A and B are shown apart, each in its own frame.
Chain A
Amino acid sequence: MDGAVISTWLAALLTLGIMSFVYKDNLYYKICEAIFIGISAGYWFITYFWDSLYRIAWIGVVHEGRYVLLGGVVLGAMMLMRLFGKIGWIARWPLAFIVGATAGLKMMVYFTTNAMAQIHGTVDDTMVAFGGGDLYDLIGRLVILIGTVTGLIYFYFSKEHKGLFGGVAKVGTWFLMITFGASFGYTVMSRMSLLLGRIEFLLTDWLKLVK
């Protein structure tokens, strides 16, 4: 029996073990789950060790003399201080560095891409559609415009949601509900795809029922 057959059988038995949970919680499932968690943790650890610590830090500093990388190494080591009770506070420094750098980078990109570009796209496309687009496009753009404005009004809490303002906010709520529904639909689609991948593996590679 060659390695490919053994690995296919192993993968199939582990897949069935995880799937057995839909019947009920059982020992077979628990064993498969524990194997999955252990392997995942081990894989991530080894990947980060070889890719970051060895390939970047060790080769970079020791073999290539890029001493600037030592800054990252020191910050990484400081992060591990959390494991030692009394000096655990040292881990806050690299954490502060990460939070600061991420906030700095994200603040601008979110503002330009998620705020300004979206406002520009919404208004500009609606104007273009009014100026000569087809009816289907125009209706689509108007729906986006109304959805954006009413959605924003729903999140405006400085005025009580009553009367006309409350009505517009209600429309915003409907748009949000439809968005969540679409998002849920996509999530179901994705989860089905995951299951599909496993079923295809079982039918094709393991049972050979499908070519």
Chain B
Amino acid sequence: MNKYYSWLILAALIIVVAILPKPLVISPTASVIVTILLGIALVWVLVLTIRGHLIGRRVVFLFIGASLTLPFFMNFEMPIKVSPEVKILYDALAKLPPGSKVLAAFDYDPPSAPELQPQADAFMAYAFKHDLKVIIMGLWPQGPQQANMSIDKVLQYPEIRAKNPKYGVDYVNLGFQSGNEFVIQRMGSSFRGMFPRDIYNTDYDKIPLLNGVENFSNIDFVFNLSSGYPGTVEWVQIAVDRYGVKVGAGNTAVQAPSVYPYLSSRKLTGLAGGMSGAWQFEQATQQPGKASTYVLPQTFSHTVVIAFIIIGNAALMVSYRRSKRGEA
């Protein structure tokens, strides 16, 4: 009989989704009520746990799913304060005069896009608005494609469309190159050696933007979007330490802790870490995008995770007490 319940729930869910108005927006009052109900449900789970009724893992998944889904329909304004590390990154970009050459290294792939693509969009929009020349490359095979997606998106913005940035003149995509940190090392002496052609197989020497770009000494700033190896760590270790170029980064939250030491030693010029970093970067560059949409669901889900850490510890204590009683 149980298996029929799951199918019934699925059918009910499909019907509900079909009849819901599109797009669905919940009023601020209803948003507060939903939030309170979610909180009450969590307290109820805690009380059940303390009483010795341990809940199954599927309930945890259900709460996580609800906390990630419901806020998309809610009307809440989140307060924001741009952190010092994001401000350093923004200030470094703001100091670049029009015409500066910025190397944008896209070292990530689609799984990291929710965190890094908003940063890529904000960066590309900022660069085009402020007439920065962008040279794109990737140490990850899908990185340059992510860059192209970002360019396609920001070129739809009316103010950027009005500027009409041209490929080869205002930006260029050199594509992916295998070799990890050895690519960065080689670029220290010759960009052409590592990227003899761009992503569309145009010769390096035939691209106007790359005229006079021999190595890092012709680059004003490196903006690295990274989700692992090879990424920001390698850029700092080689491009910064060996060739003295300034590197600012946007990282996934997983990678951010390993990069923070480079900030305090001033090897890294600014860092936007994870979704909150992306959100702050969007605010700093005044390019509100997807991170601004994502931050509310993420805040809700974090609260639920924290609540379940507390519930989990309560469950542990209950089990401990039970086993102690059993021994006695």
Contact A186 B274, beta carbon cutoff 8 Å: yes
- From B65-73, B157-165, B318-326, give the one contacting chain A: B65-73
In the assembled complex, B301 has its CB within 8 A of some CB on chain A: yes
Instruction: List 6 other contacts, CB 8 Å, given A56-B196, A189-B274.
Output: A47-B176, A109-B238, A117-B241, A189-B275, A209-B23, A209-B72
- From A27-35, A81-89, A155-163, A192-200, give the one contacting chain B: A192-200
C-alpha gap A209/B238 in the complex (Å): 46
Given A209-B73, A210-B24, A113:B254 Cβ within 8 A: no
Contacts of B273 in A (CB 8 A): 186
Contact B254 A187, beta carbon cutoff 8 Å: yes
In the assembled complex, A92 has its CB within 8 A of some CB on chain B: no
In the assembled complex, A60 has its CB within 8 A of some CB on chain B: yes
Given A51-B177, A60-B196, A112-B241, A203:B69 Cβ within 8 A: yes
Contact A190 B265, beta carbon cutoff 8 Å: no
Contacts of A195 in B (CB 8 A): 64, 68, 301
In the complex, which residue of chain B has the Cβ closest to the Cβ of A201? B114
Within 8 A of B (CB), among A174-211: 179, 182-183, 186-190, 192-197, 199-200, 203, 207-211
8 cross-chain CB contacts under 8 A: A51-B178, A186-B273, A189-B253, A192-B275, A193-B298, A196-B68, A203-B69, A207-B17
Partner of A113, one of B64, B65, B113, B262: B262
Within 8 A of A (CB), among B242-291: 242, 252-254, 256-257, 261-262, 264-267, 273-276, 290
Contact A196 B301, beta carbon cutoff 8 Å: yes
Chain A proximity of B304: nearest CB distance (Å): 10
Within 8 A of B (CB), among A42-94: 43-44, 47-48, 51-52, 55-56, 59-60, 64
Partner of B241, one of A59, A113, A197, A208: A113
Contact B141 A47, beta carbon cutoff 8 Å: yes
Contact B114 A196, beta carbon cutoff 8 Å: yes
Contacts of B61 in A (CB 8 A): 22
Chain B proximity of A111: nearest CB distance (Å): 10
C-alpha gap A59/B195 in the complex (Å): 12
How many B residues touch A, CB cutoff 8 Å?
Answer: 60
Contacts of A164 in B (CB 8 A): none
Contact A51 B175, beta carbon cutoff 8 Å: yes
C-alpha gap A145/B181 in the complex (Å): 30
In the assembled complex, B88 has its CB within 8 A of some CB on chain A: no
In the complex, which residue of chain A has the Cβ closest to the Cβ of B181? A105
In the complex, which residue of chain B has the Cβ closest to the Cβ of A180? B257
Contact A194 B236, beta carbon cutoff 8 Å: no
In the assembled complex, B6 has its CB within 8 A of some CB on chain A: yes
Contacts of A182 in B (CB 8 A): 257
Partner of B58, one of A23, A52, A121: A23
Contacts of A187 in B (CB 8 A): 253-254
Contacts of A55 in B (CB 8 A): 175, 197, 201
Partner of A117, one of B68, B256, B265: B265
Partner of A199, one of B23, B175, B176, B297: B297
Given A109-B238, A209-B17, A196:B176 Cβ within 8 A: no
Contact A193 B294, beta carbon cutoff 8 Å: yes
Contact A186 B254, beta carbon cutoff 8 Å: yes
C-alpha gap A200/B206 in the complex (Å): 41
Contacts of B301 in A (CB 8 A): 192, 195-196
Contact A193 B58, beta carbon cutoff 8 Å: no
Partner of A211, one of B23, B115, B182, B275: B23
Partner of B72, one of A64, A118, A183, A210: A210
Q: Which of A52, A186, A187 has the most CB of B within 10 A?
A: A186
Contacts of A210 in B (CB 8 A): 23-24, 72-73
Contact A192 B68, beta carbon cutoff 8 Å: yes
In the complex, which residue of chain A has the Cβ closest to the Cβ of B72? A210
B 45-64 to A, binary, CB cutoff 8 A, 1 in contact else 0:
00000000000001001001
C-alpha gap A53/B240 in the complex (Å): 30
Partner of B274, one of A51, A109, A193, A207: A193
C-alpha gap A195/B175 in the complex (Å): 28
Partner of A193, one of B182, B241, B253, B265: B253
In the complex, which residue of chain A has the Cβ closest to the Cβ of B69? A199
Contacts of A197 in B (CB 8 A): 113-114, 294
Task: Identify the 5 closest CB pairs spanning chains A and B, nearest first.
Answer: A197-B114, A121-B265, A190-B253, A109-B237, A189-B253
In the complex, which residue of chain B has the Cβ closest to the Cβ of A192? B301
A 100-133 to B, binary, CB cutoff 8 A, 1 in contact else 0:
0100011001101110011011100100000000
Chain A proximity of B245: nearest CB distance (Å): 14
In the complex, which residue of chain B has the Cβ closest to the Cβ of A21? B61
